[in-house]
Structure 1
Amino acid sequence: MSGIEIKLSQEIKKILLFGFVGGFGFIVDSAVLYLFKSVLGLYGARGVSFVAAVFATWLLNRSITFKEHRYNYWYQEFAYYFLYMILGGFINIGVYMFLVTISITVNQYPIIGVAIGSIAGMIVNYLSSRFLIFKKK
């Protein structure tokens, strides 16, 4: 295998791991949303569920996907991760809110909005994780 092929296969592995972790984050996000939606409403519950999903994905991405690029201080790493995830989160939650507002179906089944929003934010989140947060030191 050439150097380019090895780097490409490593990058594909990272993307797949990031997708797996994102899938787990989707489950956390959806579960927390459904747990709190009757108390906080669809928008308030989504804010809480987003924070829970960011925390869960940070734990897994630092332990699995980007383990070779962890920070010495976990709290510093989490702060950077959370701040960068906000950009993807704005996209994610913006799509969710838009769909909940315009679609009766998504309003009745908000998990659809969570799924579509998650996909929309995933690309931004991967790029910021890979090239800004867990970059080579």
Structure 2
Amino acid sequence: MRFTTIGFFGLFVDMGALWFALNALSLNLYGGRIFSFLVAATFTWGCNRLYTFREARGGGLLGQWLKFLSVNAVGGLVNFAVYVAVLHQGAVLLAGRAELLAYLPYVGVAAGSAAGLFLNFAASKRLIFR
């Protein structure tokens, strides 16, 4: 439950980081998504380290963070693939509805996060925070 709750808050960190990447850093939708994933993954790693898997905090911070990113890269790829699919299919479905197209990246983040949630939990529990 803690992992899911942290993931829920991580979703908003992800969306905020994506907004920042697109608007303040002028990254494109794909570079912005990579940036926001890294920010959100760092946030969720830190929170899961402190709250969800606090009894399994052994190891150095940098090493554990890199291992977390590496292991969760599979879930990240699923997340990114769903994000791209939402962008492309959503653009087709919402053609002519420009006011809704601006929300597609954030819908894509939410859909991608949901798709990667269970895979990332299993990987985190078994490989990172043993």
TM-score bin (small chain)? 0.7 to 0.9
In structure 2, C-alpha distance between the alignment counterparts of 1:33 and 1:75, rounded to whole Å? 24
- 5+ residue gaps, structure 1: 1-15
Cα deviation for residue 37 of structure 1 reads 1.4
What is the aligned counterpart of 1:96 among 83, 86, 103? 83
Paired position in structure 1 for 2:116: 121
User: What's the Cα RMSD here?
Assistant: 1.3
Contact persistence 1:101–1:107 (CA under 8 A): no
Once the two structures are overlaid, the 10-residue window that deviates more, 92-101 or 36-45, is 36-45
Structure number with the bigger relative contact order (C-alpha 8 A, sep ≥ 6) is 2
The secondary structure found in structure 2 opposite 1:21 is: helix
Q: What is the count of residue pairs matched by the alignment?
A: 120
Q: Match for 1:77: what amino acid? A: Q
Q: Match for 2:29: what amino acid? A: L
Contact persistence 1:92–1:118 (CA under 8 A): yes
Sequence identity percentage: 35
- Listed one character per residue, the Cα deviations across residues 32-60 of structure 1 (whole Å, up to 9, x for unaligned) are 10112141111111010000001000100
Cα deviation for residue 108 of structure 1 reads 2.5
1:79 and 2:74 aligned: no
1:41 and 2:36 aligned: no
TM-score (norm. length: structure 2): 0.87
Where do 1:1-137 residues align within 5 Å? 16-38=1-23, 39-104=26-91, 105=94, 107-109=101-103, 110-135=105-130
Structure (1 or 2) with the larger CA radius of gyration: 1
Contact persistence 1:33–1:46 (CA under 8 A): yes
- Listed one character per residue, the Cα deviations across residues 4-47 of structure 1 (whole Å, up to 9, x for unaligned) are xxxxxxxxxxxx10001101111111001011214111111101
Cα deviation for residue 107 of structure 1 reads 4.4
In structure 2, C-alpha distance between the alignment counterparts of 1:19 and 1:48, rounded to whole Å? 22
